[in-house]
Amino acid sequence: MPDSTPPPTDRRALAAGKARAHRERTRRMRRRVATGAATAFIALFATISVQMAAGNDPATGTASAKVKASAPAASTSSSTGSDSSSSSTPAAVTTQQS
Amino acid sequence: MSATALNTHLFWITSRAAGSLALILASLSVGLGLLMGGGYLKRRTRDLRVLHEALSLGTIAALAVHAGALLFDGFVHMSVLDVTVPFVTSYHRFWTSLGIIGGWAIVLLGLSFYVRDRIGRNRWKLLHRFTALGWLMGAGHALGEGTDAGQRWFLASMAIVVLPALALLLTRLGATRRPPTSQRALRPL
């Protein structure tokens, strides 16, 4: 029966080859994770930017929030603004007073 | 959006995107770690460990960008102490501090992998389990304070990555608490 165990030099070469293959796989995997993370970051950045551009950003406020923010000033200056419908026309209130 | 608006909010958007990315990567890393630790993935563990490590390093990098970008943001005006030391900032003090503690836990416990021989393998394994706690703190920080927490896209993406990892963690905790069948059999009635 022939001996199936490879000689020491072959074994060493085999181990070195395996280690090289593992290093290569490791490098490839790290590169893939880095690429995926960079892509995800760009996608998230773009989503938030588009959200901001559309005026629906929770940080900078929505268009309706801006109207709401200007409403108390209008009702205070008119001192009769109990009606919520007047909040949508703050400019008209100012014009009446002036 | 105009170029001026993008320039004005550049660091703010960067911080938000990096924070979301950190949570996604951390969830994937914790999920993968739990799958390996729980014995669900028995093949190619060497490669999976490399993937786990790469995801963890990605998380740490994203956390650094998340905190670092805030230093340059012109709206929240955060200092180095505000973003690194818990309970210093007045901006959403509790949730920010929770994020800082969780972030430090992820960074320190993650990097402890490289000194595990000095710490002692068993001690390191025990410490490594607390990374999940840091991840939970990060998730709490994102949901409690995150600007995008109410956004559908954010909640959907978080649900996809956070919930499976959370389910795995709960399964693991349940399995740890339950004594093995052999011990239960020996217990007197």
Give CB contacts under 8 A, 24+ apart, made by B51-57. B51/A29, B51/A33, B53/B113, B54/A29, B54/A30, B54/A33, B54/A34, B55/A33, B55/B25, B55/B26, B55/B28, B55/B29, B56/B25, B56/B26, B56/B29, B56/B106, B56/B110, B56/B113, B57/B110
- Look at residue B178 in the predicted model and tell me its pLDDT: 65
Q: Which 8-state DSSP code applies to residue B179?
A: P
| Nearest CB neighbour to B58, from listed A33, A58, A59 | A33
Q: Which 8-state DSSP code applies to residue A57?
A: E
- Look at residue A7 in the predicted model and tell me its pLDDT: 72
Rg (CA), chain B: 19
Q: How far is B48 from chain A (nearest CA, A)?
A: 9
- Look at residue A70 in the predicted model and tell me its pLDDT: 44
Instruction: For an interface test with A, give the residue of B1, B14, B55, B57 to mutate (most A CBs within 10 A).
Output: B1
Indicate the angle between helix axes B10-37 and A8-53, nearest 10 degrees: 140
Q: Which residues of chain B are under the pLDDT cut of 70? A: 1-7, 177-189
Q: Find, in chain A, the residue whose alpha carbon is nearest to that of B7.
A: A49
- Look at residue A89 in the predicted model and tell me its pLDDT: 32
- Look at residue B5 in the predicted model and tell me its pLDDT: 62
pTM: 0.77
pLDDT of residue A3 exceeding 80, the answer is no
Confidence of residue A93 (pLDDT cuts 50, 70, 90): very low
Show the DSSP H helices in chain B as ranges. 3-8, 10-37, 45-71, 80-84, 93-111, 116-119, 121-128, 131-145, 152-177, 181-186
- Look at residue A72 in the predicted model and tell me its pLDDT: 44
A45 touches chain B (CB under 8 A): yes
Confidence of residue A51 (pLDDT cuts 50, 70, 90): confident
Q: How far is A49 from chain B (nearest CA, A)?
A: 7
Distance (Å, whole) CA B87 – CA B101: 10
Written as six digits, the tokens of B109 are: 């416990």
Residue showing tokens 């590169």: A31
Q: What is the mean pLDDT of residues A21-38?
A: 92
Give CB contacts under 8 A, 24+ apart, made by B48-53. B50/A25, B50/A26, B50/A29, B50/A30, B51/A29, B51/A33, B53/B113
Contact yes or no for A48 and B17 at CB 8 A: yes
| Nearest CB neighbour to A37, from listed B12, B25, B150 | B25
Distance (Å, whole) CA B23 – CA A13: 42
Q: What residues have CB less than 8 Å from B77, skipping those under 6 apart?
A: none
Average pLDDT of chain A is 67
Written as six digits, the tokens of B142 are: 């994102």
Q: Which residues of chain B neighbour A57 with C-beta distances below 8 Å?
A: 147
Burial class for B69, CB neighbours closer than 10 Å (0-12, 13-18, 19+): buried
Q: Which residues of chain A neighbour B20 with C-beta distances below 8 Å?
A: 44
A25 touches chain B (CB under 8 A): yes
Q: What residues form DSSP beta bridges with A61?
A: A57
Helix (H) or strand (E) segment spanning residue A62: strand A61-62
Q: Name the phi and psi angles at A4, rounded to 5.
A: -85, -15
- Look at residue A75 in the predicted model and tell me its pLDDT: 39
pLDDT tens, position by position, A56-72: 777 766 544 444 444 44
- CA-based nearest residue to B48, from B33, B61, B63, B58: B33
Q: Output the CA–CA distances (angstroms, integers) from residue B55 to A50, B16, B24, in the order listed.
A: 27, 19, 10
